[in-house]
Chain A
Amino acid sequence: MKEYSNMTSSEKLIALIDGELPSEETTTLFYELAQNVELQEEMREQLAIRQFFATKQLVPPDYLKHKILHSIGLGSFLSIASAKLTSSGLGFVGLSTLKSKAFLMLSSALIGSLFTLYFTENFQSDKNITFDEPVPIIHSFQIDEPQNNYRIEADLTQPASITKNTKSNPSQIVSKFKTSEDEPFFDYNSSINGIKIVSVDKYQSQYKPLKYRNVLHNETEKYDFDKPVYPKFVDYLSLQIRGFATRSIPELNVPPLDNPVMNNMAIALFYKFDKNMQVGIEVGQENFMQEYYQYEMGNLKRDIKQNYTAFWTGVSFQYNIAEYGYNQKLYPFTRAFLGGTNVGPLLRGMIGLQFDYENSFSLFTGIESTALFYRYSGNTFSTYKLGLTFGGSVNF
């Protein structure tokens, strides 16, 4: 204990606060503390300062772990997918990240396509329809007959009441109004069971088959519809790309963890059920400001702020309010998105305006709000974004 005999009271006091003073020295120090007012004040001050750093420990960002695991060859698929591009990470790690993202996009598209195919197979079969099966009641349709070199577009003025006894199917309607191969005859006043022909266009060889949409309107109806003509599956698909300019809530002055090239962008593949509804798979990347805390015994232990670059994927449902638009080409729409990131679920709502150019290309713009939820230390935190979005889509 000789070493302690050379220490000043202040030195002993620090050792005591640090839990490093032997018990025999503690007794002596306590006696001195009782006598020495200055030493008491010093202790109070040291304890006051200490309470503001005693428990604070920093937590490394998750992506560092994934990068390390990947670098030493112990990374799993997830760790590769989570590894982030850094300023020096344009090498192997960055390449792997791009590959994994491409894989995720393709696999998501494949799963979505299979789901849609299954859905189509079960609800819009082009098999022969017998009397015993539910029959779609046609509200509108378009029929392409390349061999006859023309198209008929028709619309129902009221729900059709086609029955077994009615000899009417799309091919019969076509033949009824056709008088020659070159100039289809068109009679505005004609109608068959509520079906009114509204236009007849000369078929163009380069003209793609348009949508022939039917609606399962009343399953009790029976219809002697031999083999309806449906377009190919890909005719319902559209590929969309969009960008966004958004503001984070909370807005923190924190630089992003990394700055990848394809940031603040999203790509989506949509399937159009009809003129109103479409469902798609969407992938994208953007930054989220995060601030989250950890408390211990009621005291703040950690306060972490970061600008997180999130790669996200999920499902979007869009509803086009075509009835209230202009000429069914410029119309409002709403969209809801449910997806996920590496850290938690992502929800998004959007309203906007869409303009369809012919049947092949669309432009849109709107406002969107996004919420990202994530967990830390047993608590759920959230961060939000609000801003503009804009983009275009190509219909196949």
Chain B
Amino acid sequence: MKKRELKSISDEDLFYLLYEDKETARLAFEELYSRFAPKIYTYCKRILQSDELAEDIFQETFLRFYESSKTERVMTNVSAYIFRIARNLCLNEKQRKYHSFGQFEELNYITENDFQERKDKINLVDSAIKLLPDKYREVLVLKEFLGFSYNEIADLLNTTLPSVRINIFRAKQKLREILAPYIEDFKK
């Protein structure tokens, strides 16, 4: 099977190809990796807020995902499955080595000089997102950075749709509150 042909195969069918011979398994794994790596990596970095930890958990996620292909005989949603692995690993890591995050007032280190370019504004928003409580930041990352729908997030987090909606609303309200002093610059 050629690499090009794998592009049109569904996630679930690719997962079943992991049972095949080594070359096919490698190509299938690489294709799955290319589909999910940026999202998983983004999720790990945004949630753990540490490059080193994020890389470890990112690797561990794909290792466990591959290992599971030897035992999981039925796969209905690869995306949800691999995200659950990543999420569980992130939660375990956070419980093991809890990082306390600053409160909203700590944003005063961001100065007026940071508004020179678009890049600085992106960094400013990133800094503001880091100040959000974990449960708000997670839904915001899943929605805005990874493009999941409310329903998919509810499924991933094993919660209800209204709960997701209200958490995203509160996350954005908090973000607006944090960035209030700079909002006029954002509108320009």
Residues of A at the B interface (CB closer than 8 Å) are 3, 7, 10-11, 14-15, 18, 20, 42, 44-46, 48-54, 56-61, 64-65, 67-69, 71-74, 76, 299-300, 303
- Can you give 30 A-B contacts (C-beta < 8 A)? A3-B161, A10-B173, A11-B165, A11-B169, A14-B165, A14-B168, A18-B143, A18-B168, A20-B150, A42-B176, A49-B183, A52-B121, A52-B125, A53-B122, A53-B126, A53-B145, A56-B122, A57-B145, A58-B41, A58-B45, A64-B58, A64-B59, A65-B30, A68-B62, A69-B29, A69-B30, A72-B66, A74-B66, A300-B119, A303-B122
Least CB distance from B79 to A in Å reads 15
Q: A45-B187, A58-B41 are in contact. Are A52 and B172 (CB under 8 A)?
A: no
Give the complex CA separation of A131 and B60 in angstroms: 73
Q: A53-B145, A72-B66 are in contact. Are A46 and B176 (CB under 8 A)?
A: yes
B146 close to A (CB within 8 Å): yes
The reply to whether A48 and B37 contact each other, CB–CB distance below 8 Å, is no
A-chain residues with CB within 8 Å of residue B175 when the two chains form the complex: 49
Residues of B at the A interface (CB closer than 8 Å) are 22, 25-26, 29-30, 33, 37-39, 41-42, 45, 55, 58-59, 62-63, 66-67, 118-119, 121-122, 124-126, 129, 143-146, 149-150, 161-162, 165-166, 168-169, 172-173, 175-176, 179, 183, 186-187
Query: Which of A49, A72, A300 is the one whose CB lies under 8 Å from B176?
Result: A49
Least CB distance from A71 to B in Å reads 6
Least CB distance from B12 to A in Å reads 19
A-chain residues with CB within 8 Å of residue B22 when the two chains form the complex: 73-74
Give the complex CA separation of A74 and B70 in angstroms: 14
Q: Which of B37, B55, B161, B172 has the most CB of A within 10 A?
A: B172
Give the complex CA separation of A117 and B183 in angstroms: 71
Query: Which of B67, B118, B150, B186 is the one whose CB lies under 8 Å from A48?
Result: B186
Least CB distance from A254 to B in Å reads 10
Query: Which of A48, A50, A61, A74 is the one whose CB lies under 8 Å from B183?
Result: A48
A-chain residues with CB within 8 Å of residue B187 when the two chains form the complex: 44-45, 48
B-chain residues with CB within 8 Å of residue A67 when the two chains form the complex: 59
The reply to whether A54 and B144 contact each other, CB–CB distance below 8 Å, is yes
Residue of B at shortest CB range from A60?
B41
The reply to whether A68 and B26 contact each other, CB–CB distance below 8 Å, is no
The reply to whether A56 and B145 contact each other, CB–CB distance below 8 Å, is yes
The reply to whether A3 and B162 contact each other, CB–CB distance below 8 Å, is yes
The reply to whether B29 and A49 contact each other, CB–CB distance below 8 Å, is no
The reply to whether A65 and B143 contact each other, CB–CB distance below 8 Å, is no
The reply to whether B118 and A300 contact each other, CB–CB distance below 8 Å, is yes
A-chain residues with CB within 8 Å of residue B55 when the two chains form the complex: 60-61, 64
B-chain residues with CB within 8 Å of residue A44 when the two chains form the complex: 187
The reply to whether B26 and A58 contact each other, CB–CB distance below 8 Å, is no
Least CB distance from B41 to A in Å reads 4
B-chain residues with CB within 8 Å of residue A52 when the two chains form the complex: 118, 121-122, 124-125, 186
Residue of B at shortest CB range from A65?
B33
B-chain residues with CB within 8 Å of residue A45 when the two chains form the complex: 176, 183, 186-187
Give the complex CA separation of A64 and B45 in angstroms: 14
Least CB distance from B103 to A in Å reads 20
> Which 8 A-B pairs rank lowest in CB-CB distance, beginning with the nearest?
A48-B186, A60-B41, A74-B26, A58-B42, A52-B125, A48-B187, A14-B169, A72-B66
Q: Which of A54, A68, A299 has the most CB of B within 10 A?
A: A68
Least CB distance from A81 to B in Å reads 16
The reply to whether A14 and B162 contact each other, CB–CB distance below 8 Å, is no
Query: Which of B25, B129, B169 is the one whose CB lies under 8 Å from A10?
Result: B169
Residue of A at shortest CB range from B62?
A68
The reply to whether B39 and A57 contact each other, CB–CB distance below 8 Å, is yes
